[in-house]
Homo-oligomer: A and B are copies of this chain.
Amino acid sequence: MDLREISRLLYQIKLAEQNVASSFERETGFSLTRYEMLQVVKERGVCSQRVIKEEMKIDNAAITRHLKILEEKGYVVRERNAENHREMFVRVTEKAEQDLGHCERDEQTNHLVLQALSAEEIQHLSGLLQKLNSHT
């Protein structure tokens, strides 16, 4: 396994990422990152940006900017934590719940991944990625 073969593999991962992310956005109307972010916030009810950062492994700056956009679109509300004014508390709005539920219902079977891979293959892929990601 020389460097050239490794780079081919890594480049395949890059292409896969680009393909799936853009098809996800095309099909749902949400960017993958913002969809995840809304789900993370929704599942916690209320949470600080630090929690989002730890959960999503994404840079603080990116979070601030995504939340600003989500706020403008009326998907989240932010307010300072009264007990600790450094923290911003985020929660999703009714509108977000509705729109998320909406695309949940719309896009059941037509996703790129489901077309390309069987359930077992997806399971397998997920396991490999988890192993890869856990090695920092």
Q: Are A113 and B132 in contact, with the CB atoms below 8 A? A: yes
Residues of A that sit less than 8 Å from B by CB: 1-4, 6-17, 19-21, 23-24, 28, 32-33, 35-36, 39, 56-57, 103-104, 107-108, 111-117, 119, 121-122, 124-126, 128-136
Copies in the complex: 2
Q: How far is the CA of A28 from the CA of B28 in the complex (A)?
A: 37
The distance from the CB of A59 to the nearest CB of chain B, in whole angstroms, is: 10
**Which residues of B lie under 8 Å from residue A128 when comparing CB positions?**
117, 121, 124-125, 128
Nearest B-chain residue to A35, judged by Cβ? B7
The distance from the CB of A23 to the nearest CB of chain B, in whole angstroms, is: 8
Q: Are A32 and B14 in contact, with the CB atoms below 8 A? A: yes
